[in-house]
Amino acid sequence: MINKKYVLLAGAIAAIAVQPAFAQESSSTTTSGWSGRDMTYRGYNYDYLDTAYVPKNRMPQEKKFLANQYSFPSKPRNMWEVGVGFGLFNVSGDVPTTMLWNKGGWGIDLHVRKALGYVMSVRMDYTYGIAKGLQWQPAYGYGNNPAWMNKGYTPQSGNGSALDPVFYNYRTEVHQLNLDLIASTNNIRFHRAKTGVSFYGFVGLSGIAYQNWINALDGNYVSYRTQFETIYEKYKNANGQIDYADRKKVKKDLRSILDGSYETDGESTAKNRRPGIFDKKTLMFYASIGMGVQIRLSQRFNLSIEDRLTIPMGNGDDLLDGQRWAEQTTKEPVLTQSTDGLNYFSVGLNYNIGRKSKNVEPLYWMNPLDYAYTELNAPRHMKLPDATLADSDGDGVPDQLDKCPGTPANVKVDAHGCPLDTDGDGVPDYMDKQLITPTECQPVDADGVGKCPDPECCKNRQVVSCSNIPAASITFDANSSKIKPAAQTQLAVMAAQMQANPTCKVVVIGNGNGSKVQQQRSWDRVNAIIEYMSEKNGIDRGRFIFQYGKEGDANSVMLRAAATDEEGPTNVAPPFPNLKK
């Protein structure tokens, strides 16, 4: 059993470490959601629309997701975890283990861990441990243990007579290689972006190479039989045993005489001994189970507290503590039925390796619900239906903005929903029998006809004024060439002026030259406007001058009346027709 004071110490460390973890969590997560600089959700480690975090083999899924053909984003590339730990290493066997840091067992471990998903991860761990034990009750059946025989002690005889008492002790060195499957339990969060503390459990397969020694002789290679006898006589009760209440005093006296040399090889099972790099060590395979908690200190560092129990498989081995005999005082000792196990309680510091620009934190720190929650809160990728606003007269201007409700069907209107009045005479175009009435001939009658007769010299004069064609700026949504309703109204006004001035041309200028994508998109938008004016408003395509790829707002197209004698192409070949949109 682990000493209580070490448990309390570990708890204190955990409590202190939790404070900066949660402080950082609260400071990095805000109710505002998105940061303005990179549009990455605060409190989450990456933007799920950023393909930089997607490995090549998962890009087909990511492309389908970005094209709204598949509902789930691909799993991001995530960091590896490496760590080092230190703690208490003990054998659970026939001889009581020694728990004191300065005189007992200790261990150190190194590991590398990789997330398989948001819950499961796999870990390779190497542990080096030293375990020590000391029995405070005297033993007499050591005649069955070859490690104690011929060391100057006389064991219990066949007729049960007790001779020299021995206090069992050992020092075991263990090299342990573990392959663990780990399950994290609480990174799926319903009410927070992420967690600062991760609880986990694990199972694993362990390969163990161990060797142990006993301290049977002093520095002069002489047995401790006299000293053992003195201690036994000092503390034995009427039944020839040592009371449990005196165990600490007995151990203290024993440590005062034992020199800690552990000069004698412990008993081993010959069939499990391996030559070569394992030297005299015994090689066994064990199973491991355990649990732990990790405390997130930053995106890179976390603190872990863990307990691993290594248990034998099959018949196992009962010699991890150098003793496999059950001691009895009135008859011969018998073999114990249980096998020895290992316990390692450790505190570790772990580090996540990998480039932040390409890797997110290990997935067992990530909340898989974050994508769904943040998309619901601030949609960027979700397919949303077009907003539907009431438009009673069907002129394309919502009732809330329509200053002229009840416009007749198919009548072209301006941005305010009022019928067009090209010459500004107060009679809308659809009622105006003189579409362009000179200013000097106004006011007009109810049919929009001016009241001044044309002079004899000017009866056949045609009013040609390209300056009447207003300049316009058409704005498009990003990555789109679709003409919005408000822009259609602007184009309708321009179309009316071009019909009134049939000799005038219009220059259509598309902006955007920063990249191939911008140049192609600029061409697409200019072409869309010319086609719209030709197909929807009946303006001959030959009356437009096609220009694209100019400097300016990449999401806008400018239109203006052409200057006198200004010429230019009506059709231009697309610059990058094979570029994916």
The pLDDT value recorded for residue 192 is 82
Residue 27 one-letter amino acid: S
The pLDDT value recorded for residue 150 is 81
Which pLDDT band, with edges at 50, 70 and 90, does 531 fall under? very high
The token duo for 22 is 């949660």
Mean pLDDT of 167-193: 91
What is the distance between the alpha carbons of residues 126 and 84, in angstroms, rounded to a whole number?
10
Average pLDDT over the chain, rounded to an integer: 82
The pLDDT value recorded for residue 363 is 92
DSSP assignment of 87-152: EEEEEESSSPBP--TTTS-EEEEEEEEEESSSSEEEEEEEEEEEEEEE-SS-B--GGG-TTTTTSS
The pLDDT value recorded for residue 94 is 85
Percent of the chain whose pLDDT exceeds 70: 82
Mean pLDDT of 165-181: 93
Of 145-154, 300-309, 352-361, the least confident: 145-154
Chain segment 294-352, per-residue pLDDT in tens: 999 998 999 999 999 999 887 667 888 888 876 654 445 555 557 889 999 999 999 99
Is residue 287's pLDDT more than 80?
Answer: yes
- pTM here? 0.61
Residue 481 CA, chain-centre distance (Å), reads: 36
Mean pLDDT of 141-161: 74
| Cβ density class 176-212: b for 16+ within 10 Å, e for less | bebebebebeebeeeeebbbbbbebebebebebbbbb
Is residue 21's pLDDT more than 90?
Answer: no
Mean pLDDT of 174-179: 95
Mean pLDDT of 139-154: 82
The CA-based diameter of the chain, rounded to the nearest angstrom, is 155
Fold (CATH) for 4-30+82-353: Porin (2.40.160)
The pLDDT value recorded for residue 87 is 94
> How far, in Å, are 108, 142, 335, 351, 481 from residue 210 at the CA level?
15, 22, 21, 29, 73
The pLDDT value recorded for residue 7 is 46
Is residue 437's pLDDT more than 90?
Answer: no
State the virtual CA torsion across 360, 363, 365, 366 in degrees, nearest 10. Answer: 80
Residue 63 CA, chain-centre distance (Å), reads: 20
Q: Which residues, at least 6 apart from 9, have a Cβ–Cβ distance to it below 8 Å?
A: none
The pLDDT value recorded for residue 230 is 92
The pLDDT value recorded for residue 387 is 67
**Among 467, 462, 473, 470, residue whose Cα is nearest residue 564:** 467
Which pLDDT band, with edges at 50, 70 and 90, does 34 fall under? very low
The pLDDT value recorded for residue 101 is 52
Q: Which residues pair with 134 in a beta bridge?
A: 169
Domain with CATH 2.40.160.20 in the chain: 4-30+82-353
Which pLDDT band, with edges at 50, 70 and 90, does 24 fall under? very low
What is the distance between the alpha carbons of residues 352 and 106, in angstroms, rounded to a whole number?
26
DSSP letter for 258, please: -
Of 199-203, 274-278, 289-293, 350-354, the least confident: 274-278
The pLDDT value recorded for residue 102 is 56
The pLDDT value recorded for residue 410 is 85
The pLDDT value recorded for residue 534 is 92
Q: Is 357 exposed, middle or buried (0-12, 13-18, 19+ CB in 10 A)?
A: exposed
CATH number of 464-581: 3.30.1330.60
**Residue scoring higher pLDDT (64 or 384):** 64
Chain segment 218-245, per-residue pLDDT in tens: 888 888 989 999 999 999 888 888 899 9
Give the H or E element holding residue 256.
Answer: helix 247-257
Which pLDDT band, with edges at 50, 70 and 90, does 106 fall under? very high
Query: Is 443 in contact with 460 (CB distance < 8 Å)?
Result: no
Mean pLDDT of 71-76: 90
Is residue 564's pLDDT more than 90?
Answer: no
DSSP assignment of 282-325: EEEEEEEEEEEEEEE-SSSEEEEEEEEEEEE-TT--S-TTS--E
Which pLDDT band, with edges at 50, 70 and 90, does 27 fall under? very low
Helix (H, G, I), strand (E, B) or coil at 371: helix
What is the distance between the alpha carbons of residues 184 and 363, in angstroms, rounded to a whole number?
10
Chain segment 402-428, per-residue pLDDT in tens: 888 888 888 888 878 888 887 777 788
Which pLDDT band, with edges at 50, 70 and 90, does 552 fall under? confident
